[in-house]
Amino acid sequence: MAKEIASILLRNRLGALTADGPRCSHCSRSPLVGERIHELGSGKRVCSLCVTLVSATEGEPVGSELVRSGERPLAVVQPRAA
């Protein structure tokens, strides 16, 4: 039973990632958290791996965006003095 629940949760989470997250229009890959996704002059969004391949035909990048974690916000913790 626990194995079935785990597979259902995993399937739901993967479906949410592909539906919500940015995807590369060239290779259809979902960039990892912390990677950059670039928007080209033609309006397409490509990952850092494909930007050099398609920039000659689709135009130069006009902007880039850092892929963030969609599950929960990441905490920034300041070190404390001892």
**If residue 64 lies in a helix (H) or strand (E), which one and from where to where?**
strand 61-66
Which pTM value belongs to this model?
0.59
User: Quick one: tokens of 2?
Assistant: 């626990």
Burial 27-48 (b: 16+ CB within 10 A, else e): eeebbeeeeebbbbeeeebbbe
Model confidence pLDDT, tens digit, residues 6-44? 777 766 666 555 555 678 888 988 888 888 899 988 888
Model confidence pLDDT, tens digit, residues 41-82? 888 899 988 888 887 787 788 998 888 776 555 567 777 776
User: Quick one: tokens of 22?
Assistant: 């940015």
> Distance between CA atoms of 62 and 36, rounded to whole angstroms?
13
User: Quick one: tokens of 66?
Assistant: 């850092």
